[in-house]
Chain A
Amino acid sequence: MARRSRIKTLKIDGRDVGAHEDQTILQLARENNITIPTLCHIEGLSVPGACRLCLVEVKGWRKLVPACATYADEGMEVFTDSERLRSYRRMILELLFSEGNHVCAVCVSNGHCELQSLAQHLGMDHVRYPNLQPVRLVDMTHSRFTLDRNRCILCLRCVRVCDEIEGAHTWDVKGRGVDARVISDLDTPWGESPTCTTCGKCVNVCPVGALVEKGRAVGEMVKRQEFLPYLSSMREVKR
C-alpha cells in the first residue's frame, strides 16, 4: 500500500528518525529497533493506552505520554529510557504483581509470559506493595479453555480481539478498581456462552496465564500470536 502522507522528522533517544504522519511513537521506535516495553498493546488490535508501560518523555512536555497512543510530530525530541521512566515502569509492574496471584513457579504460562519477561527485563526483583489477594474465581466451565482471573492483568486484549477480529464480543469488563474483572456475556459461565465460537483467539493473545488451554501443566502453555497481523491486515484490505 502506498502511503501518501507527509514525512515528519524528529529525534528518538538522540537519533534522527523520519515518520509518516499516521505513525505512533511506538511504531516508529520499533521500526528503528528501539525497545519500548508494552503489555496491553498488540499489533493488529485497537489501542487502549491502558497499561502505561510505554510512557515516554517528550522534551518541553510536562506530562509523560504513552508511545502507543501518541503520534510522531515534527521536531519532537522523545526519550524512551531514563531512570524516571524505568522506576515508573517497575512501579507499574509491582502494582500488577501485588494484585491477584502471580506466582510464576506454579503457573502454566511460566517461561512463556509477557508479564514475567518484562519483570525480568526491567529488573523488578521485589514487590514493595502488600499483596491484596482478592478472591477471584477460576472459570473452568468451557470445554477447552480455562479463565483464571487471579492471573489477569486487565490488558483487555481478549475483549478487543473477540470484538474486533472474531466479531463475537463475548468478553467484556464488569466492576471497577480491584473489583474489575473480565466476564463472558452478561457474567454467565464461559461454558454456557451463546456467543463464544471457541476460536481460541483470546487465549492466544492473552499475555499471561489468565486465559489458557485446559490440560496444560505448569510451564506448558505457549501462546501463538502469529495469526493476528495476518487476520487484521485481511480486514484492512476488505475495508
Chain B
Amino acid sequence: MTKQIVIDPITRIEGHSKITIQLDDNGRVEDARFHVTQYRGFERFCEGRPFYEMPSLMGRICGICTISHELASAKACDEIMAVQIPETADMLRRIVNLASVIQSHALSFFYLSSPDFLLGLESDPATRNIFGLAQKHPEIARDGVRLRRFGQEIIEWMAGKRVHPNWIVPGGVGSPLEPEVRDRILETIPEAYAIVQHSLDWFKRSLENYADEIRTFGNFPTLFMGLVSPTGGLELYDGSVRVVDERGSMLVPGFAPDSYQEYIGEAVEPWTFMKFPYYKPVGYPDGIYRVGPLARLNIIDACGTPQADQEWAEFRQLDRGMNFSSFYFHYARLIECLFAIERLEQHLNDPRILDKRVRAYAGPNSGEGIGITEAPRGTLIHHYRADSQGRITWSNLVVATTHNNLAMNRGVKQVAHRYVEGDRLTEGMLNRVEAVIRTFDPCLSCSTHAQDRLALHVELVSPDGEMLDQIWRD
C-alpha cells in the first residue's frame, strides 16, 4: 500500500509552505513535492498605478529583501523613463544593495540555519533556534546579530529606515549621501570584517562534520544562473545574465536583461502557487537551474575583490570546479558577505560618492521596462509595461526563490529518499527535509508575490489519497 507524508508548515524560512512525500507499495519514497500554499497577487494590483509608485509598492512584497525589490523595480522604471541615472546614484544604490545582501545572509546563516548545524539536526526542536544558539554558542549568536545590524544600519542611515524605505526612486535615489553617514559606516566596517573572517574560519573547519549533509542536501547537477559584471566578476546590482551548465561550460556568457524571455520560460503546476521557471533552450523540466549565492560563485570567473577572491579560490577547490551540493549555499553566503563588505568599502572611499547629482527626472518615455538585480536569494526580474501616461498596464515578476523551485523539489526528493523509511514520520527526517529547503533560504512571500500562518506541515499520503500521518509545526 502506498502512502504519503506531509510536512506542513516548514519552519525557519520566509513564508508558508508544506511538503508531501508519496510512498509506493513497498513503503519507499516515490515522489516528494514542495508546495507553496500562499498567494498574493502583486502583479495584478499594480495595474493602473503610476509607475513612480512602483519601487515602494513592489518593495512591500518582502520585509527582508525590500531593497532588492525596490532596486529591480526602480531599474525597470529607469527604463520606462528611458534615462541613465547619475553615476553617484548608481553607486549609492549598489551600497544599499550590498548592505541588504549582508543583513539577509546574516539572517539566513546565523538565525535560521546555523542552529541546524551547530546544535545538530537531532537536537530538541524547542531549543534548535537562535535562542538555543545564544545559550550554547553565545559568541556566534552575537556575531549573527551584529553582522545583521551592520547591514541594517547602513540601510537605515542611508535610506531613512530599515524596512520598506522610500529612498530608492525611479531615476536614482531620494537624497545624496552625507559625509557623516559615510564616515559612520566606514567606522563599523572593521567589526564586520572580523565577524565574517571568524565565521568563515569555524565554518570551514567544521565542514567535514557535515559530509553526509553535503552529499545528500540537494546535491545534483543543474544549470546555474546569475548576473556577472562585464569582466565576469561577482555582480549583485547590474550586469548581464550568465548561464553555465553542470560541467561549468558557458551556455550563455551573458544575455542582456531585456532578452530574459528568450532564455527563461515559466511552467505552472496545479499543486502549488509557485511557478517553475526553466531554461528555455533545454525545456521543461530538464532546464532546471539554480540561482543564489551558490550559483553566483559557480558562474563567475573571479569575485573581483582581494579577500573574497582568496576565499572563492578555496571554495572552488572543494569539488574541483562546480559545487553542486546545496549545503554549500551556506558557505557561499559567507564569502558573499566578505565580498559585499569589501565592495561597499571601495564605493564609500570613492570621492564621487558624495556628489549631489543623484536623481534624473523624466516622464514615461518608453512603454516597457525590465530591471534585473541579484537579490540575496538570487536573480530577481521585474518587468513592467506602461501606457503613454505612465500608468502600469502589465507586470511580470520572476523572483529568486521561484527560479530555485525545480531544484528545491528535487532536493526534497533526494533527502526523502535517503532519510524516509516506513510510513511514520521521524523528527530526524523532518528536520533534514526542512534543512534542505532552508539551504536555499527561500522567501515564499516574495515568490508568490501570504496570507496565512507561518511555517511547516508534512503529510504522508497513500496512492488512494488516504492520509497516513502528518506533522504540524508552527
CB-CB < 8 A to A220: which residues of B?
166, 169, 174
Check B166–A214 contact: CB distance below 8 A.
no
* Interchain CA distance A217-B50 in the complex, whole Å: 10
Kindly specify which of A27-35, A38-46, A112-120, A136-144 makes contact with the partner chain.
A136-144
CB-CB < 8 A to A218: which residues of B?
53, 55-57, 166
Mostly, the A contact residues are loop
A187-233 interface (Cβ within 8 A of B): 214-220
What size tier do the contact residues of chain B reach? 20 to 34
CB-CB < 8 A to A215: which residues of B?
52, 170-171, 361-363
* Interchain CA distance A16-B49 in the complex, whole Å: 51
* Interchain CA distance A213-B60 in the complex, whole Å: 23
* Interchain CA distance A138-B53 in the complex, whole Å: 13
Other-chain contact of A217, B48, B55, B362, B391 (Cβ < 8 Å): B55
Other-chain contact of B391, A138, A143, A219 (Cβ < 8 Å): A138
1/0 contact string of B37-75 vs chain A (CB within 8 Å): 000000000001110110111001000000000000000
B158-175 interface (Cβ within 8 A of A): 164, 166, 169-171, 174
1/0 contact string of B344-369 vs chain A (CB within 8 Å): 00000000000000000111000000
Is residue A1 within 8 Å, beta carbon to beta carbon, of the partner chain? no
Check A140–B166 contact: CB distance below 8 A.
no
Q: Closest CB-CB distance, A136 to chain B, in whole Å?
A: 9
A residues contacting the other copy or chain, number (CB 8 A): 20
A135-168 interface (Cβ within 8 A of B): 137-141, 143, 146, 148
Mostly, the B contact residues are loop
Q: Closest CB-CB distance, B60 to chain A, in whole Å?
A: 6
Is residue B206 within 8 Å, beta carbon to beta carbon, of the partner chain? no
Check A138–B170 contact: CB distance below 8 A.
no
Is residue A108 within 8 Å, beta carbon to beta carbon, of the partner chain? yes
Is residue A2 within 8 Å, beta carbon to beta carbon, of the partner chain? no
CB-CB < 8 A to A139: which residues of B?
389
CB-CB < 8 A to A148: which residues of B?
50
Check B389–A217 contact: CB distance below 8 A.
no
* Interchain CA distance A105-B166 in the complex, whole Å: 10
- Closest B residue by C-beta to A216: B52
Check B361–A138 contact: CB distance below 8 A.
no
Check B174–A140 contact: CB distance below 8 A.
no
Is residue A237 within 8 Å, beta carbon to beta carbon, of the partner chain? no
Check B174–A138 contact: CB distance below 8 A.
no
Is residue A106 within 8 Å, beta carbon to beta carbon, of the partner chain? yes
CB-CB < 8 A to B164: which residues of A?
105
* Interchain CA distance A215-B83 in the complex, whole Å: 13
CB-CB < 8 A to B376: which residues of A?
none
CB-CB < 8 A to B362: which residues of A?
215
Q: Which residues of B contact A (CB under 8 A)?
A: 48-50, 52-53, 55-57, 60, 164, 166, 169-171, 174, 361-363, 389-391
Q: Which residues of A contact B (CB under 8 A)?
A: 105-108, 110, 137-141, 143, 146, 148, 214-220
Besides the known contacts A139-B389, A218-B56, 10 further A-B residue pairs in the complex with CB atoms under 8 A apart? A105-B164, A106-B57, A107-B53, A108-B52, A140-B391, A141-B389, A214-B363, A215-B362, A217-B53, A220-B174
